[in-house]
Amino acid sequence: MTLSQMVQALKEKFADSVLQSIEFRNEQTLHIAFTAIPAVLKYCRDELAFDFLVDISALDHLGEEPRFEMVYELYGMSHHCHLRIRSKVPDGESVPSVTSIWKTADWHEREAWDMMGIHFSGHPNLKRILMWEGYPYFPLRKDFPLAGKPSDLPEVGFTRPAPMADGPFVTSAGAKDTVAREPRAKHVD
């Protein structure tokens, strides 16, 4: 089955849920209804042999409603076809987790939660993966200031020698140029 035939099969099976189909530079993208995410993705895996979840990402369309959009990148190891599934996330809704379809969705969904604040219902372990627990913001949202937000954590820059300063290699952070700053063996006198 070709990729075009697979897209046609999806359009026929989920006629009410496929909102738009776009082909650009031999890549296929389907825009689907939010409520159809689990069913469409399960069908892609079980019936169309898209057995590899390449990536899950989220888009922030600040100023539009709905603001967020999920993007699922699928690949079939047997037929070597790539398919992109996109779905807008209604405001205040939790996205259904697809960890029951692909185990690898676990980390992708945790990253989307951590960076964008998109909640995944049914996720087995939805907690921060990059930021620390209790961090109140979502750094990849478009309204997050580039300079960051204030935090109660102390500065991480060292004001004294680094812990490895007495090791076999040293750096000189205050040296006049990059050559002098490079780590190198200590001179033994």
How many whole angstroms separate alpha carbon 32 and alpha carbon 42? 14
pLDDT value at residue 189: 45
Average pLDDT score over residue span 59-67: 95
Distances (CA, A) of 138 to 58, 157, 159: 12, 23, 29
Q: Is residue 78 within 8 Å of residue 86, measured between CB atoms? A: no
Is residue 161's pLDDT more than 60? no
Do residues 34 and 87 lie in contact, with contact meaning Cβ atoms separated by under 8 Å? yes
Q: Which pTM was predicted?
A: 0.78
Q: Mean per-residue pLDDT for 54-75?
A: 96
Q: Report the pLDDT value the prediction gives residue 188, as an integer from 0 to 100.
A: 47
* Residue of 188 and 144 predicted with greater confidence: 144
What pLDDT score does 133 carry?
85
Tell me what the mean pLDDT of segment 72-76 comes to: 97
Per-residue pLDDT, averaged over 149-171, amounts to 56
Long-range pairs for 121-125: beta carbons < 8 A, 24 or more residues apart: 121/94, 121/95, 121/96, 121/97, 122/96, 122/97, 123/97, 123/99, 124/97, 124/99
Residue 14: Cβ within 10 Å count: 17
Taking the domains of the chain in order of start, what are their residue ranges?
Answer: 3-149
Bigger pLDDT: 104 vs 179: 104
Indicate the CATH number of 3-149 among 3.40.50.620, 3.40.50.12780, 3.30.460.80, 3.40.50.300: 3.30.460.80
- Mean pLDDT, residues 38-54: 97
User: Binning pLDDT at 50, 70 and 90, where does residue 91 land?
Assistant: confident
